[in-house]
């Protein structure tokens, strides 16, 4: 196997060919960076957190495939993944994750010691999430913490402390993650039942659609509270109204529980995160 073929396998392993996961991590991190810097982030901080998001999501995907290597072979959608199909060894997948995590840690060295310290729970969350599907009823809540830990880290990097607004934003991200990952779990519901894997779609059962919409509602309420705490104005709240419209569109997609439409709703969450970000940036620009 030549270098190009090997590189292609690594891209598949780390899901770089499917950037939706990166975006779902990146939007909340960017919300935090802009709010923490009062709308004036330095290029250094912006670059570090953007690249760090890409690297840690990629490392998490490698660990996820390692954790699910015996499960993925029984699911048609995942049985051709590089690790499951044997094109990449288990040790190789772990080394990919380790190298990416080390590069990510090196990126934050120019930042303050508090940010260094917070990188350790962030790493633990990223590598432990794939295993939570075995015992947590709603692993999506854990995912929300893992996907949102860039929020308190951004405040720590910029302000040297983690104010209450950071934790409100993180809590909002947890409910958002439950919403969008339940949509994703609705796609794999039958496979998860067969394999004995926990998911929010199974936990909520026939109330899954109601639960998703309730989580969107709580997300938006918490984002509104965070906006008030940060002193954001009308433009930010217009962004939240747009995000609400996107959530209502998702209801139209998932109400019939069609696999294809549930997956479309999951991917479309990119625009939910982008709408909130546009509101944050626009509010600071118009001050």
Q: Are 63 and 130 in contact (CB under 8 A)?
A: yes
The closest alpha carbon to 45, from 63, 30, 57, belongs to 30
Which pLDDT score, from 0 to 100, does residue 195 have?
A: 65
CA angle 268, 273, 277 (to 5 degrees): 145
Number of domains in the chain: 1
- pTM as predicted: 0.93
The answer to whether the Cα torsion of 266, 164, 281, 233 is positive or negative is positive
Give the pLDDT confidence score for residue 265 in this predicted structure. Answer: 97
pLDDT score at 72: 67
Which CATH number is 9's domain given? Answer: 1.10.357.140
Give the number of other CB atoms < 10 A from CB of residue 2: 7
Q: What is the pLDDT of residue 75?
A: 65
pLDDT in tens, 164-217: 999 999 999 999 999 999 999 898 776 666 666 778 888 888 999 999 999 999
- Residues of the chain scoring pLDDT < 50: none
- In the prediction, which pLDDT does 108 show? 96
Q: Which domain holds residue 57?
A: 3-285
pLDDT at 275: 98
Number of residues that this document lists for the chain: 287
**Residue 195, CB half-sphere, CA atoms under 13 Å: how many?**
19
Give the per-residue pLDDT at 64: 86
């Amino acid at each position: 196997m030549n270098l190009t073929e090997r590189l292609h396998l690594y891209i598949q392993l780390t899901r770089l060919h499917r950037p939706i996961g990166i975006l779902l991590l990146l939007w909340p991190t960017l919300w935090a960076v802009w709010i923490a810097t009062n709308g004036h982030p330095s290029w250094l901080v912006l670059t570090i957190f953007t690249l760090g998001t890409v690297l840690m999501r990629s490392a998490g995907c490698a660990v996820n495939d390692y954790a699910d290597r015996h499960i993925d072979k029984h699911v048609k959608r995942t049985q051709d993944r590089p690790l499951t199909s044997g094109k990449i060894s288990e040790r190789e997948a772990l080394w990919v994750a380790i190298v990416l995590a080390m590069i990510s840690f090196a990126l934050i060295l120019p930042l303050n010691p508090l940010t260094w310290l917070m990188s350790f729970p962030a790493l633990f969350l990223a590598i432990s999430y794939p295993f939570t599907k075995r015992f947590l009823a709603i692993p999506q809540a854990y995912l929300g913490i893992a996907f949102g830990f860039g929020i308190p880290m951004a405040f720590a990097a910029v302000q040297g402390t983690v104010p209450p607004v950071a934790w409100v934003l993180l809590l909002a991200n947890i409910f958002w993650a439950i919403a969008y990952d339940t949509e994703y779990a609705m796609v794999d519901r039958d496979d998860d039942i067969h394999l004995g894997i926990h998911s929010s779609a199974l936990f909520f059962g026939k109330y899954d659609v109601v639960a998703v919409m309730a989580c969107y509602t709580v997300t938006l309420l918490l984002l509104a509270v965070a906006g008030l705490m940060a002193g954001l104005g009308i433009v930010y709240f217009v962004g939240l109204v747009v995000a609400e419209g996107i959530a209502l569109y998702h209801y139209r997609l998932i109400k019939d529980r069609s696999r294809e439409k549930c997956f479309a709703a999951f991917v479309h969450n990119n625009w939910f995160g982008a709408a909130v970000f546009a509101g944050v940036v626009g509010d600071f620009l118009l001050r």
